Amino acid sequence: MTVYQATVSAPVNIAVIKYWGKRDTKLILPTNSSLSVTLDQDHLRSTTTSRADESFERDILWLNGKEDPIKEGGRLATCIGEMKKLRKQYEDANPNEPKISSYRVHIASNNNFPTAAGLASSASGFAALVSSLAALYKLPSSPSELSLIARQGSGSACRSLFGGFVAWEMGSATSGTDSLAVEVAPREHWPEMQALVCVVSDKKKGTSSTSGMQRTVETSTLLQHRIREVVPKRMEQMIRAIKDKDFTTFAEVTMRDSNSFHAVALDTDPPIFYMNDVSRAIIATIVEYNRASVAAGGPVKAAYTFDAGPNAVIYALEKDMAEIIRLVCYFFPQGVSFEDPMGVFPSGVQS
């Protein structure tokens, strides 16, 4: 008996130009382009096994060992359905391939970090889901093609199909066919770039990204300024900074875009607060660290960024990371694991 099964893992990505807002909630088409760095490390990954079998009676997904219902018309059903469609096309083009597109699938996905704590679990989760089905189905699709499907699971997931530095181009088609992820630079381009993940809290966040960003689209006037005036310029600046390996510009744009995203969250009615006092103390620490370096004639050395939760990610070059870890551990003297609040561990962009 042939077993049709594949296991694939996908990493988390942390945006330096943030996605926040949809122009189409069903197809998950964003109101602005975004750009992220994929954290290529064992700490922050989703690993997914997919299996297709004639005997299965329904599609089932287990997330961290617990069944997650696949609602009709929902995101999971859409992604699984789109992948089955691609397999069907592949079978039609290759008549000798086994006809498994009509089989039900069983999918088991595990995160090795807290789910829904503002650490992009849906990004790695849907990227791993789509990648494992692509492997199961032996599809010849490119990462950008798969990103079109991962995007419909969770917007930020489309960026986790690539390693390194990745842009999600918002596109303009109403069908969504040009809203996809593209590689800006592979991780080997800038191997000195590292990310430090500071876990301020591993509790599930209060306002989900999906509902939060929709409220922002409906109520924030500041968002209109951000998507029209601010982000398009920043995308260009950031792509140039990455290509030129210009850390000062990379850091400045990263920090300003994190601030801009949290400003539009605050401009939402009712307001959304993702950062807490510890997050703000981390910002103050990094600002002072950079100020002191520049005042002494040195470079900008660190960039903070915060997603839809209080946890900080600090980007820095390898030469400065040991000093930054010492600084963070000095001012925030806590444990070094997810079991402790405020655990701190380094996460290399390169494995």
* Placement of tokens 């655990």 in the chain: 343
Least separation in angstroms between residue 140's CB and ligand 2P0 is 27
The residues in 260-299 that bind ligand 2P0, with binding defined as CB under 6 A, are 261
35 binds ligand 2P0 (CB under 6 A): no
Q: Which two tokens stand for residue 261?
A: 């995203």
CB atoms within 10 A of CB 321: 21
311 binds ligand 2P0 (CB under 6 A): no
Size of the site for ligand 2P0 (CB under 6 A): 15
Least separation in angstroms between residue 84's CB and ligand 2P0 is 21
Least separation in angstroms between residue 23's CB and ligand 2P0 is 12
CB 43 within 8 A of CB 112: yes
CB 11 within 8 A of CB 160: yes
The residue sitting closest to ligand 2P0, measured at its beta carbon, is 155
Least separation in angstroms between residue 116's CB and ligand 2P0 is 9
Q: Which two tokens stand for residue 249?
A: 């510009």
Among 87-95, 154-162, 228-236, 282-290, which window interacts with ligand 2P0 (CB under 6 A)? Answer: 154-162
Q: Which of 101, 124, 154, 285 binds ligand 2P0 (CB under 6 A)?
A: 154
The residues in 187-246 that bind ligand 2P0, with binding defined as CB under 6 A, are 209-210
28 binds ligand 2P0 (CB under 6 A): yes
What distances in angstroms separate CA 40 from CA 27, 70, 187, one per listed residue?
A: 28, 29, 9
Q: Which residues pair with 62 in a beta bridge?
A: 67, 108
- The mark string for 62-101 relative to ligand 2P0 (x by CB under 6 A, - otherwise) is ----------------------------------------
* Best CA proximity match to 52, nearest among 9, 93, 10, 1: 1
* Best CA proximity match to 183, nearest among 163, 196, 200, 166: 166
Q: At 114, which amino acid appears?
A: P
Among 59-67, 149-157, 225-233, 245-253, which window interacts with ligand 2P0 (CB under 6 A)? Answer: 149-157
SS3 180: strand
CB 115 within 8 A of CB 126: no
Which residues of the chain form contacts with ligand 2P0 (CB under 6 A)?
15, 18-20, 28, 34, 122, 154-156, 209-210, 261, 307-308
